[in-house]
Every structure is written in structure tokens, then in C-alpha cells.
Amino acid sequence: MKLSRLIAVAFAGAALTVGAATQPVVAADNPYERGPAPTNSSIEATRGPFAVSTKTISSLSARGFGGGTIYYPTTTTAGTFGVVAISPGYTAAQSTISWLGPRIASQGFVVITIDTNSRFDQPGPRGTQLLAALDQTIADTTVRSRIDASRQAVVGHSMGGGGTLEAAKTRRSLEATIGLTPWNLDKSWPEVEAASLEIGAQNDTVAPPGSHAIPFYNSLTNAERRSYLELRGASHFAPNSSNTTIAKYSIAWLKRYVDNDTRYEQFISPGPSPSLTNGISDYRIN
């Protein structure tokens, strides 16, 4: 059972019966909240409230993936953080998605961006490597004391996005997945239980949303929650450079489902209304 479901069950049962009377008990504050209450400005900013340090994992020391970079909050007093692994797309290096590492970490996560074993790896191996990167980050001597290993998520671009679903199919305990213009030949994902956000691009000719991200979204019938966001006028390669829309909704999704932080629900439901001014052409949530 997902962490957020466990918390919901616990809160739902937080009542004491004394004789014939039932006395409600006020639920404790969410212990996984990190940082101040969010605003549009705070999650659109290039950096959040936490200072971030980095650690390089060389290809020689990486176990099961091609090396990477860990981004982590420098604080040791704010409690533990959820952990997120991010994969690049087909033929791409981690440098193409590295902008997301410090941006997400500064909002209160330990993040690893990875290189894959081969730039030609398909979604299946990318999913396996995302899980290997999570495991190595959780065990890393520099950051392990900062990590809550029960709160894990994966993000990926293109075949890396398809790999997030492969990872969640294998590891049912993942809290969240985010596919950025995701690509996978498998279009059906009823096995995935993690809350899953698919971000497509309106003008994507490599992984057209109608053939990839939207079928993925439609098939995620057993996910804790699912959402589809489409970037107006964008191409398949929109995730390869700093993008405020991608960052904003990725952060909101991770905060909501890795940290169970309901303060971020305001950005998810009902969610953005597609318009010419906000750069969004479609938004759906179950």
C-alpha cells in the first residue's frame, strides 16, 4: 500500500470511543512536509528554499547504471527527504536533463540524474537502471542519512519516460512516476500503482502524445492517481532545457505524492486551464 494511502487510512481511523460517545482526534500534521507553504512563484522559481550540494557517481563506481550526479539539500536538521531518480532519453546523456536535478532537490528531495549503460538502451533497461540508481543513492554514505527510503519516485524523458512505467511495474512501492514526452512500445499499464503524471508535447513528432503519453494515461487504471499535461506548441525535446511548466507541475506532483503534502493539491486539481498564455494545450486528471 502506498505511503499516502497508509496515512489516509491512519487519519480516517483517528477516533477514540469512550462509552457511547465518539471523540474525534485531530490528525497530526503531515510529518513529510518540507519547506514553507507553496505559491505559484515558489514552485516556478529556478531554486526552492533548500540550499543544494552535489556528488558525482562515476561510471566506474555506479552499480547497474552508467553513472550520475546526486543533488541533495545541505540541511541536516529538516528531517529526511524522498528520493528521485531521473533518466535521459534515447541517445542522450544526463546533461540533457541535469537542469531538473538541483531544481527539484532545492524543493526538498534527494535527486540523482543518471547516464544509462548505453545511450541506445530501450525503456525496459532504463527502468531497471532507474531502480538501481535509487538503490545506490539510498545506500550512499554522503546522503543516506538524509533519505527516507520508503518514499521513492522516478522521472524520465522519452525512452526514459517509458522507463518510469517499467520501473513502477517492477517496484510497486514507488510513490510517483513522471514521464516527460514519454515513449514506449507498450501502451497498456494497468500494473502501475504509483501516482503517474505524463507530460506530452503538442508538436512532438518522435513520441506523438496520441500514440504514447495519452494512451499511457488512459491505461493507468490502477494508479493511485493519473494526470496528463500537454505543452502547447512544444516539441519532443522540450524537457532538454529549463522549462518552468515542466518543473512546476513535476514539483507539485512529487510533493503531493512522495511527501503526501496536500498543500500542493491546489496545482493539481482542478489543475491548469489550457490557454494560449500559460503554454498548456491539454490537461486531464482522473
Whether 6 has a pLDDT exceeding 70, the answer reads no
Active site includes 157? no
Q: Is 212 a residue of the active site? A: no
Options 135, 236, 250, 259, the catalytic residue: 236
Set of cell numbers at residue 218: 488512459
- Higher per-residue pLDDT: 231 or 7: 231
Asked about 158 being catalytic, the answer comes back as yes
Compute the distance between CA of residue 220 and CA of residue 210 in angstroms, rounded to an integer. 15
Looking at residue 1, what is its pLDDT? 45
Residues 161-174 have pLDDT tens digits of 999 999 999 999 99
H or E, element range at 129: helix 123-139
Of residues 158, 219, 227, 281, which has the active-site annotation? Answer: 158
DSSP class of residue 87 equals: E
Catalytic residue among 204, 227, 250, 261: 204
* Nearby residues of 230 by Cβ (< 8 Å), 6 or more positions away: 199, 200, 201, 202, 209, 213, 274, 280, 281, 282, 283
Domains of the chain from N-terminus onward: 48-285 (3.40.50.1820)
**What is the pLDDT, as a whole number, of residue 4?**
54
| 280: β partners | 231, 275
